[in-house]
């Protein structure tokens, strides 16, 4: 399979798409981790500090309330939520999107997983717990060479209709991870370079709502990345810069092409998406935004 790194390659592949004969079942399972150990005890992205340089403080009981309401919202969209134990040593473990990337193997017709190599040492110890989970659930597990950082679903987004993976790199994931993903999964990969530290994961600036619509924070990408996004989607919705940066507008989750769960402070984007016919479910994730995460990265979407 190919790296689709020019708009022409991407368009040609879309027309001739050899994988279009394959079907991938819809996902409806969500994996989450209880926020009991969630706090901010180090800063590995700009959201985690106050303007005076001090670490932001998390209100634990508020975080738990918000997380429980998020679980309810996901369930209201018909999703089945499974909760995995979190670990006191790893305060960011609640962000379940980052430790792995789960994809559908088109040859065996089963899901498989690529475990992450977290860029920052503070989070590396989270991975064995996910390895244990995937072992217990009979997944074929793949690992990436130790020298390449890769942050899972934070930086890799699979389009199950078009069978293509969008891969962010340059912040947390190493520039050669898009081609690794391509070799491993057999999917074509669209590499998207991230340029702005506020958007350190692809899921902070890129939210596909299906194969046609995508929400982006445009100041996150290189010009080449933006050209690829325009070639891949008919309708590119630009999140307002303040909403994208301050309330992580693009860290929304659209599980089925119609429901959108999104941080409630993003009133302009909410109005826009409602106008386009999406069923918008606003939720309060303010305690998690302090750490640089919101709806999308608090969960892992599984088959």
Burial class (CB in 10 A: 0-12, 13-18, 19+), 290: buried
The label of the residue with tokens 């994961």 reads: 201
The residues with which 55 forms a beta bridge, in sequence order, are 49
Q: Which residues bind ligand ARG (CB under 6 A)?
A: 44-45, 48, 92, 95, 97-98, 123, 154, 201, 203-204, 291-293, 297
Is residue 201 part of the annotated active site? The answer reads yes
User: Can you tell me whether residue 33 is helix, strand or coil?
Assistant: strand
Is residue 37 part of the annotated active site? The answer reads no
Find the shortest distance in angstroms from Cβ 293 to ligand ARG: 3
Backbone angles phi, psi at 20, to 5 degrees: -65, -20
CB nearer ligand ARG, residue 13 or residue 173: 173
CB nearer ligand ARG, residue 92 or residue 159: 92
- How far is 188 from 291, CA to CA, in rounded Å? 32
CB nearer ligand ARG, residue 47 or residue 162: 47
Q: Which residue from 302, 303, 299 is spatially nearest to 34, judged by alpha carbons? A: 299
CB nearer ligand ARG, residue 111 or residue 292: 292
Find the shortest distance in angstroms from Cβ 156 to ligand ARG: 11
Find the shortest distance in angstroms from Cβ 18 to ligand ARG: 31
Find the shortest distance in angstroms from Cβ 235 to ligand ARG: 23
Q: Which residue from 167, 109, 177 is spatially nearest to 145, judged by alpha carbons? A: 177
The catalytically annotated residue of 201, 205, 254, 281 is 201
The catalytic residue positions are: 201, 297
């Amino acid at each position: 399979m190919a790296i689709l790194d020019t708009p022409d390659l991407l368009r040609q592949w879309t027309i001739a798409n050899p994988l279009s004969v394959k079907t991938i079942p819809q996902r409806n399972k969500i994996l989450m981790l209880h926020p009991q150990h969630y706090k901010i005890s180090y800063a590995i992205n700009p959201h985690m500090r106050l303007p005076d340089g001090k670490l932001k403080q998390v209100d634990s009981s508020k975080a738990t309330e918000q997380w429980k309401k998020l679980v309810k919202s996901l369930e209201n969209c018909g999703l089945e939520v499974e909760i995995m134990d979190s670990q006191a040593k790893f305060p960011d473990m609640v962000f379940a999107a980052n430790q792995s990337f789960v994809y559908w193997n088109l040859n065996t017709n089963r899901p498989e997983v690529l475990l992450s190599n977290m860029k920052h040492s503070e989070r590396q110890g989270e991975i064995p717990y996910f390895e244990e989970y995937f072992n217990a659930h009979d997944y074929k597990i793949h690992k990436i060479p130790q020298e390449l950082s890769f942050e899972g679903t934070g930086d890799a987004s699979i389009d199950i209709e078009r069978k293509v993976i969008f891969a962010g790199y340059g912040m947390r994931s190493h520039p050669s991870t898009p081609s690794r993903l391509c070799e491993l999964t057999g999917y074509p990969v669209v590499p998207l370079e991230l340029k702005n530290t506020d958007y350190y994961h692809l899921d902070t600036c890129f939210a596909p709502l299906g194969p046609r619509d995508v929400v982006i924070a445009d100041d996150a990408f290189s010009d080449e990345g933006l050209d690829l996004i325009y070639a891949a989607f008919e309708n590119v919705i630009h999140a307002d810069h303040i909403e994208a940066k301050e309330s992580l507008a693009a860290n929304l989750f659209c599980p089925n092409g119609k429901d959108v769960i999104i941080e409630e402070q993003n009133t302009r984007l909410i109005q826009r998406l409602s106008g386009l016919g999406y069923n918008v479910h606003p939720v309060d994730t303010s305690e998690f935004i302090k750490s640089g995460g919101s709806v999308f990265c608090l969960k892992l979407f599984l088959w």
